[in-house]
């Protein structure tokens, strides 16, 4: 089990969170009309081997979405930031 | 107006439960108190001050400790959200509107349970993965955490005294789970309290 | 004679307290402090079980977790437990146990015939005989029943377990696993820091290997002193009878404490076992070693035991398992066993494969009267049913016989082929270990995990003194790493042990001059894998260790190869002419030793399998005859018993009643979300497909949401309560998903929007009142509001009171009738429902359940969960008209993907059946005359009997459905094997103009 250092709640078990996928993708602007751009956003992921930024939702805690650095190879976790504080 | 019906009416019947000769856990439901969420946006810490000042509170506080002022408890549940217990919607409504902050009545949304006794921390270790040791969770601390995969708010009132705020519709199931877990300690269920 | 192998004195058992245990229908005497295995040995019970495949007689082989043979059934009825290692079963007065894998009895086991058939049961027997093309699979199906009965381990219990189990979460600074010399020294150091320390020991006593040394030696007094000191430390918590079975990411460890396994029953309300989930900052692993057996012919016979186990039975339990003992070793450790056996009165021959041995050891055994034969080993154990003699042969440095074997009578063969460090927990986290070719064992890689330190025997260390020093240092270092550095000197110990690593040989098996075993030589005792099985696998090309393991099943039994791993690898390395590290090793995974399902489940079973949600009105429903049904996490009234004698009668009656009179249904389970803030309208405009900028306060609008990929996510209504204050409802099942999605959008891409979304599902109870009489009834019940059609048209809301209860009345319809949703704060929900029941008596009000609610919505063609299955688009559901073309919204671009626009996609249609014909949800649709094969042209989603139409109807998704009105289709349910036809019709079965709800 990984443990996630929620900026609001502190160090918590992964079981309090819900995984939210790759945090590197950026949602296109609302007025974006190009389907290709949207396809990239919804479907295309780089799936790196090693350090990765991903969304986790503290569903059973403060209900904040966080961006967690996790190594996909050895499961070590690094910095954890509130998504809303990352522009 | 009728009385507010407890969600635990069928769950908590005063009496002794579990191992005989021991009452290491006392379970009581606290009577309903007003509960309001105030929420804002960037600059919330400053914007909320006019709402808090009339309540005698000087700041939004931190994420881990309850602020108390008289009957009022203030929990910083997110960067831009506070939960105020002991004060109703109407009391904060006007100040909130002027401050551009949203107030939301949650007065019926939580069942509040008080746990007392020498084994409360031991019991909680069986219910939540949050570290409730004295050093990490001192008196006055609170945490939003999962019990049986439901988000609850846990608060330490005294060394052996904890408060749980459980979503109303989950509370019967969760308190029943809590009771089953507490049987080895011996439980005294007491009448509801103010 | 009772306990004829028990010595008159000695051991660490409580001779003051005699106990009796049952095994195989007979009663045996022992003492408190015994294990089942030590009692059986004391009573000269050599035959304890039958082997897995060949049903060969087996006896106690070890004294610990590695036991491969002495597996028994423990206890009876609900407390029956299979595959218990007798070496771990703490004996208590009245313990009941029985052998497993033997029929009709242990002594006359029919399966033993398999020994004669053994050539057929070699490696890969099952694959070769039963798999593959042709008759194989059918032959397996024919034989499976008999094979399953004859093979295998213990029998699982079939009664409910009456015991309690629980899970506990623990946080500590330093976790020390293993309380032998190294672990105790670590605790001694770490405990001084004042940090919270958890010391875990699988045995019932602290001391580890020290407990196997003769009682009363210097080591005993050191142990006693150290244990006293550690126990006196307030911040050190000691858990005995607790196995650390798993090491996980995040420095989380899984332990199982056997709280009351050492008694017949736990005291009332107390748990039998407790699952500890430990989160620590630092861990010190001092898990020790497991001795490895020597592979030779007949090495599985009762009477062959590990040398260290013999020593344990002698010194810890006061049992002398044999009088005429041959010890066959490759290393120094067996010299302790040999000399102590001799001192206890046994005649001992010590065979050491090494030609040269340390002088101090040879002198020591000579002084105890042991006959030492260097350069010799046991080639084969002889005897029928148990060992009666051994062939002893001179061997070369590879373990091959170099001369004639001599047959020597004996009743016990004690073996040692070195030790395997218990690096399982380390490997679970860190992966593959290093091979120490000096010592001939796998060891943890140094410093591989900063928060985990390995000390003592488990790093291949053979000296107690070093273990104590290293353990102590590790304790200091762990404290330092936690920010509480302390100083101290490791205790100086006055005793020494025999270092098994010194000059140890690397011979794993003893063979004849031709390199073959003399008789059946077992590598994996528990799974009956022989040396020749490995050879066969090699000849057939299975060279990877992972393939070898699966093909021969070596190391796949409940002991997971604790004894056999290295022997198998060594043999494969030999066959491939490689060094052992080049062959590699398999991966260690949790659990280290088997754990019970009960311990992991804890309280989470039965009604607590998961948490349940109850509506604020819930209690009324069962009090008034409702049959309840699970809907996601919720319990909902399905139908009311008063409505009919069964589900069908009841829901038809309830739905019919709503169409003609008035009914009410508890809809508190709807997802309710407060959407607040100055940008709320803009936000709604983005998440819903339809427009929201024009919705006035006091008005309600239906909306549909898409996912980012353009498929439909959910539908519901949103009411505007105030300038910046909206009240959204979602379907019951999608509430959590919708809220999390909206939170994600607001906290990531739409940080600029000033909007908060908050679940208010728990704040509000909700009652839908529907039927022609609903307005009349509610108008009679409320004060402070005019509900007339002019004042409160459809999709409007008003606040009012009902008998002093504050309510908000939303006029909207799901049933197609004139209908209202009445909201009140949760704590008043029950009172409101009761009040409406009272007032409703005059208007013939009846409650209805979810089944009738479903019937009403299907009659109206409204979509719900079965249609919103994540694979349907707006067009598929004929909701395309809701989508605004003037604004972008979530999914607005991707919903137009070519494939999603394909008119041949299954789309929503109605089906009408004639007569008794009807379909079940999930039935497949085919054109008339088409072959009913494959996936069909669509499927039925929702079905009901329609009281309004007097026939069975359904909603379905049918390929090109929009153009097929009037067609006849075949409806086939392959599960129930029912077939019928239906006519494709519009989904608006009833009142298509909507006159009734707009009344």
Q: For position A86, what pLDDT does the model report?
A: 93
Q: For position C117, what pLDDT does the model report?
A: 65
pLDDT at position C148 over 60: no
Q: Which two tokens stand for residue A47?
A: 């799936």
Say which of C279, C740, C745 has its CB closest to residue A3. Answer: C279
pLDDT at position C470 over 80: yes
Say which of B129, B130, B144 has its CB closest to residue A62. Answer: B144
Q: CATH for B35-105?
A: 3.30.70
Question: Could you tell me how many CB contacts below 8 A there are between chain A and chain B?
Answer: 43
For CATH 3.30.1360.120, the residue range(s) in chain B are: 15-32+108-189
The answer regarding whether domain C164-289+421-481 maps to CATH 3.40.50.300 reads no
Q: For position B2, what pLDDT does the model report?
A: 86
Say which of B41, B109, B133 has its CB closest to residue C754. Answer: B41
pLDDT at position C537 over 90: yes
Q: Is C763 in contact with B106 (Cβ distance < 8 A)?
A: yes
- Contacting chains of B (3 CB pairs or more, <8 Å) are A, C
Q: For position C19, what pLDDT does the model report?
A: 97
Q: Is A12 in contact with B129 (Cβ distance < 8 A)?
A: yes
Q: For position C128, what pLDDT does the model report?
A: 66
- How far apart are the C-alpha atoms of C20 and C26, rounded to whole Å? 10
Q: Is B129 in contact with C677 (Cβ distance < 8 A)?
A: no
- Chain C neighbors of A2, CB-CB under 8 A: 249-250
pLDDT at position C673 over 80: yes
What class is the C902-985 domain? Answer: mainly beta
pLDDT at position C103 over 70: no
In the CATH scheme, what is the homologous superfamily, with its name and number, of domain B15-32+108-189?
Probable tRNA modification gtpase trme; domain 1 (3.30.1360.120)
Q: For position B55, what pLDDT does the model report?
A: 95
Q: Which two tokens stand for residue C107?
A: 């002594």
Q: For position C474, what pLDDT does the model report?
A: 98
ipTM reported for the complex, 2 dp? 0.99
How much is the mean pLDDT over chain C? 94
Q: Which residue of C has its CA nearest to A29?
A: C749
How does residue B145 score in pLDDT terms, banded at 50, 70 and 90?
A: very high
Q: Phi and psi at residue B90, in whole multiples of 5°?
A: -60, -35
What are the domain boundaries of chain A? 3-85
Which of 3.40.50.2300, 3.10.20.440, 2.40.40.20, 1.10.101.10 is the CATH number of C14-113?
3.10.20.440
Q: For position C546, what pLDDT does the model report?
A: 86
- How far apart are the C-alpha atoms of C247 and C458, rounded to whole Å? 15
Q: What is the mean pLDDT of the segment spanning A49-73?
A: 97
Over residues C849-892, the pLDDT tens digits come to 999 999 999 999 999 999 999 999 999 999 999 999 999 999 99
How much is the mean pLDDT over chain B? 96
How does residue C307 score in pLDDT terms, banded at 50, 70 and 90?
A: very high
- Chain B neighbors of C804, CB-CB under 8 A: 1-2
Q: CATH for A3-85?
A: 3.30.2270.10
Q: Which of B76, B151, B152, B164 would best serve as a mutation to test chain A binding (most A beta carbons within 10 A)?
A: B151
Q: What is the mean pLDDT of the segment spanning B165-187?
A: 98
* Shortest CA gap A79–chain C (Å): 14
Q: For position C584, what pLDDT does the model report?
A: 82
Over residues C408-433, the pLDDT tens digits come to 999 999 999 999 999 999 999 999 99
How does residue C530 score in pLDDT terms, banded at 50, 70 and 90?
A: very high
- How far apart are the C-alpha atoms of C740 and C754, rounded to whole Å? 17
Question: Could you tell me how many CB contacts below 8 A there are between chain A and chain C?
Answer: 67
How does residue C383 score in pLDDT terms, banded at 50, 70 and 90?
A: very high
Q: CATH for C671-759?
A: 3.30.70.1400
Over residues B9-56, the pLDDT tens digits come to 999 999 999 999 999 999 999 999 999 999 999 999 999 999 999 999
Q: For position C962, what pLDDT does the model report?
A: 86
pLDDT at position C220 over 90: yes
pLDDT at position C999 over 90: no
Q: For position C89, what pLDDT does the model report?
A: 97
For CATH 3.50.50.60, the residue range(s) in chain C are: 164-289+421-481, 293-417
- Chain B neighbors of A16, CB-CB under 8 A: 129, 145-146
Q: Is B78 in contact with A8 (Cβ distance < 8 A)?
A: yes
Residue burial C538-573, b: 16+ Cβ < 10 Å; e: rest: beeebeebeebbbbbbbbbbbbbbbbbbbbbbbbbb
**Residues C667, C692 contacting (CB under 8 angstroms):** no
Q: How many residues does chain B have?
A: 194
Over residues C327-381, the pLDDT tens digits come to 999 999 999 999 999 999 999 999 999 999 999 999 999 999 999 999 999 999 9
Q: Which residue of A has its CA nearest to B154?
A: A61
Residue-wise DSSP of C368-397: TT-EEEETEEEEEEE-SSS--EEEEEEB-T
For CATH 3.30.70, the residue range(s) in chain B are: 35-105
Q: Phi and psi at residue C204, in whole multiples of 5°?
A: -80, -15
Q: CATH for C293-417?
A: 3.50.50.60
Task: List the B72-78 sheet strands across, edge first.
Answer: B67-69, B72-78, B81-85, B35-39, B102-105
Q: CATH for C521-589?
A: 1.10.10
Say which of B64, B78, B151 has its CB closest to residue A59. Answer: B151
Q: Does B4 touch chain A (CB under 8 A)?
A: no
Greatest mean pLDDT among C490-494, C899-903, C907-911 lies in C907-911
Q: Which residue of C has its CA nearest to A31?
A: C888
- How far apart are the C-alpha atoms of C225 and C231, rounded to whole Å? 10
pLDDT > 90: what percent of chain C? 87
Global pTM value: 0.94
Q: For position C496, what pLDDT does the model report?
A: 87
pLDDT at position C124 over 80: no
| Beta strands per DSSP E along C86-195 | 95-99, 164-177
pLDDT at position A26 over 60: yes
Q: What is the mean pLDDT of the segment spanning C495-516?
A: 93
pLDDT at position C115 over 70: no
- Chain C neighbors of A83, CB-CB under 8 A: 744, 747-748
pLDDT at position C298 over 70: yes
- How far apart are the C-alpha atoms of C661 and C657, rounded to whole Å? 6
Q: Is C708 in contact with A41 (Cβ distance < 8 A)?
A: yes
Packed helices C218-231 and C181-191: angle between N→C axes, nearest 10 degrees: 30
For CATH 3.30.1360.120, the residue range(s) in chain C are: 621-669+762-853
Q: Which residue of C has its CA nearest to A24?
A: C748
Q: Is C619 in contact with B9 (Cβ distance < 8 A)?
A: yes
**Residues C878, C963 contacting (CB under 8 angstroms):** no
What residues does B156 pair with on adjacent strands? B162
Say which of C248, C740, C751 has its CB closest to residue A84. Answer: C751
Q: Is C676 in contact with B170 (Cβ distance < 8 A)?
A: no
How does residue C544 score in pLDDT terms, banded at 50, 70 and 90?
A: confident
Q: What is the mean pLDDT of the segment spanning C809-821?
A: 96
Q: For position C111, what pLDDT does the model report?
A: 65
């Amino acid at each position: 089990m990984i443990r996630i250092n929620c900026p609001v709640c502190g160090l918590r078990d992964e079981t309090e969170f819900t995984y939210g996928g790759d945090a590197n993708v950026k949602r296109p602007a609302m007025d974006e009309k190009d389907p290709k751009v949207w396809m990239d956003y919804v479907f295309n992921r780089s799936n790196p081997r090693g350090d990765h930024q991903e969304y986790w939702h503290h569903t059973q805690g403060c209900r904040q979405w966080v961006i967690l650095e996790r190594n996909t190879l050895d499961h070590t976790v690094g910095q954890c930031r509130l998504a809303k504080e990352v522009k | 107006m009728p009385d507010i019906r407890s969600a635990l009416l069928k769950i908590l019947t005063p009496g002794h439960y579990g191992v005989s000769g021991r009452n290491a856990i006392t379970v009581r439901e606290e009577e309903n108190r007003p509960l309001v969420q105030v929420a804002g946006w960037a600059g919330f810490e400053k914007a909320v001050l006019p709402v808090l000042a009339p309540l005698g509170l000087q700041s939004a506080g931190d994420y881990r400790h309850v602020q108390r002022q008289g009957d009022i408890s203030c929990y910083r549940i997110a960067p831009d959200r506070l939960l105020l217990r002991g004060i109703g919607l109407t009391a904060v409504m006007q100040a909130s509107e002027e401050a551009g902050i949203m107030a939301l009545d949650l007065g019926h949304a939580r069942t509040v349970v008080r746990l007392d006794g020498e084994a409360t921390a031991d019991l909680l270790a069986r219910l939540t993965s949050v570290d409730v040791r004295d050093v990490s969770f001192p008196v006055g601390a609170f945490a939003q955490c999962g019990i049986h995969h439901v988000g609850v708010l846990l608060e330490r009132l005294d060394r052996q005294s904890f408060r749980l705020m459980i979503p109303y519709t989950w509370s019967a199931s969760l308190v029943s789970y809590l009771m089953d877990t507490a049987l080895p300690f011996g439980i005294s269920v007491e009448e509801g309290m103010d | 004679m009772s306990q004829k192998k028990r010595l008159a004195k000695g051991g660490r058992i409580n001779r003051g307290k005699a106990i009796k245990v049952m095994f195989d229908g007979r009663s045996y005497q022992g003492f408190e402090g015994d294990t089942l295995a030590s009692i059986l040995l004391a009573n000269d019970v050599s035959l304890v079980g039958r082997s897995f495949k060949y049903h060969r007689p087996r006896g106690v082989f070890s004294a610990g977790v590695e036991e491969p043979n002495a597996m028994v059934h423990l206890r009876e009825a609900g407390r029956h437990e299979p595959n218990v290692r007798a070496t771990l079963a703490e004996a208590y007065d009245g313990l009941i146990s029985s052998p497993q894998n033997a029929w009709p009895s242990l002594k006359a086991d029919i399966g033993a015939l398999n020994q004669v058939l053994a050539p057929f049961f070699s490696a890969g027997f099952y694959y070769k005989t039963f798999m593959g093309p042709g008759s194989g699979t059918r032959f397996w199906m024919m034989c499976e029943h008999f094979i399953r009965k004859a093979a295998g381990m213990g029998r699982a219990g079939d009664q409910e377990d009456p015991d309690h189990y629980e899970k506990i979460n623990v946080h500590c600074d330093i976790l020390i696993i293993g309380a032998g010399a190294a672990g105790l020294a670590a605790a001694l150091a770490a405990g001084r820091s004042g940090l919270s320390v958890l010391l875990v020991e699988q045995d019932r006593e602290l001391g580890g290997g020290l407990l196997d040394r003769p009682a009363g030696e210097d080591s005993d007094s050191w142990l006693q002193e150290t244990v006293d000191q550690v126990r006196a430390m307030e911040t050190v918590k000691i858990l005995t009878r607790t196995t650390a079975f798993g090491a996980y990411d995040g420095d989380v460890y899984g332990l199982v404490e056997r709280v009351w396994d050492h008694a017949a029953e736990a005291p009332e309300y107390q748990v039998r076992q407790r699952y500890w989930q430990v989160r620590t900052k630092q861990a010190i692993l001092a898990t020790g070693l497991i001795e490895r057996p020597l592979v030779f012919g007949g090495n599985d016979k009762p009477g062959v035991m590990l040398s260290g186990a013999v020593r344990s039975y002698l010194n810890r339990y006061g049992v002398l398992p044999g009088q005429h003992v041959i010890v066959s070793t490759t290393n120094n450790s067996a010299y302790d066993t040999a000399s102590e056996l001799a001192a206890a009165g046994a005649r001992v021959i010590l065979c050491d494969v090494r030609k040269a041995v340390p002088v101090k050891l040879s002198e020591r055994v000579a002084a105890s009267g042991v006959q030492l034969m260097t350069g010799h080993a046991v080639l084969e154990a002889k005897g029928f049913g148990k060992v009666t003699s051994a062939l002893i042969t001179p061997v070369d440095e590879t373990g091959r016989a170099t001369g004639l074997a001599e047959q020597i009578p004996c009743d016990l063969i004690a073996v040692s082929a070195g030790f395997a460090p218990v690096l399982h927990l380390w490997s679970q986290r860190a992966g593959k270990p290093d091979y120490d070719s000096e010592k001939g064992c796998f060891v943890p890689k140094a410093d591989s995990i900063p928060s985990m330190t390995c000390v003592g025997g488990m790093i291949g260390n053979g000296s107690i003194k070093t273990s104590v020093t290293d353990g102590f240092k590790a304790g200091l270092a762990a404290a330092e790493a936690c920010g509480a550095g302390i100083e101290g000197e490791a205790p100086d110990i006055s005793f020494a042990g025999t270092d098994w690593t010194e000059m140890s040989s690397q011979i794993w098996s003893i063979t004849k001059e031709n390199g073959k075993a003399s008789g059946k030589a077992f590598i994996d005792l528990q799974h009956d894998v022989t040396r020749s099985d490995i050879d066969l696998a090699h000849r057939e090309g299975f060279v990877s260790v992972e393939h070898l393991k699966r093909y021969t099943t070596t190391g796949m039994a409940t002991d997971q190869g604790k004894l056999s791993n290295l022997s198998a690898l060594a043999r494969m390395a030999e066959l491939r002419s490689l060094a052992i590290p080049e062959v590699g090793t398999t991966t260690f995974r949790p659990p280290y030793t088997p754990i019970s399902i009960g311990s992991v489940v804890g309280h989470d079973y039965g009604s607590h399998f998961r948490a349940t949600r109850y509506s604020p009105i819930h209690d009324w429903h069962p009090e008034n005859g409702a049959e309840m049904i699970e809907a996601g996490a919720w319990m909902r009234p399905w139908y009311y018993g008063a409505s009919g004698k069964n589900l069908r009668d009841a829901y038809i009656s309830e739905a019919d009643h709503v169409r003609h009179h008035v009914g009410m249904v508890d809809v508190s389970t709807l997802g309710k979300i407060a959407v607040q803030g100055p940008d709320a309208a803009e936000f709604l405009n983005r998440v819903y497909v339809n427009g929201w900028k024009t919705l006035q306060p006091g008005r309600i609008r239906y909306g549909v949401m898409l996912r980012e990929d353009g498929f439909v996510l959910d539908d519901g209504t949103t009411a505007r309560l105030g300038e910046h204050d909206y009240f959204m409802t979602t379907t019951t099942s999608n509430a959590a998903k919708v809220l999390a999605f909206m939170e994600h959008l607001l906290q990531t891409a739409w940080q600029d929007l000033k909007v908060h979304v908050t679940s208010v599902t728990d704040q509000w109870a909700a009652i839908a009142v529907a039927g022609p009489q609903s307005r009349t009834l509610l108008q009679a019940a409320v004060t402070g509001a005019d509900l007339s059609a002019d004042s409160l048209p459809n999709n409007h809301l008003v606040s009012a009171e009902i008998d002093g209860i504050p309510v908000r009345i939303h006029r909207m319809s799901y049933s197609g009738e004139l209908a209202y949703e009445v909201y009140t704060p949760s704590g008043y929900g029950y009172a409101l429902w009761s009040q409406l029941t009272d007032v409703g008596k005059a208007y013939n009000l009846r409650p209805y359940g979810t089944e009738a609610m479903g019937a009403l919505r299907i009659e109206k063609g409204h979509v719900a969960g079965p249609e919103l299955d994540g694979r349907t688009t707006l067009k598929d559901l004929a909701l395309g008209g809701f989508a605004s073309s003037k604004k972008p919204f979530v999914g607005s671009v991707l919903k137009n993907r070519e494939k999603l626009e394909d008119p041949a996609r299954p789309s929503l249609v109605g089906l009408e059946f004639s007569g008794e014909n009807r379909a079940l949800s999930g039935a497949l649709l085919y054109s008339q005359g088409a072959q009913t094969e494959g996936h069909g042209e669509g499927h039925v989603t929702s079905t009901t009997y329609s009281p309004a139409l007097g026939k069975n109807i359904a909603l379905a998704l049918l390929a090109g459905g929009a153009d097929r009105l009037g067609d006849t289709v075949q409806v086939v349910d392959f599960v129930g094997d029912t077939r019928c036809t239906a006519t494709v019709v519009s989904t608006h079965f009833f009142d298509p103009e909507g006159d009734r709800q707009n009344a």
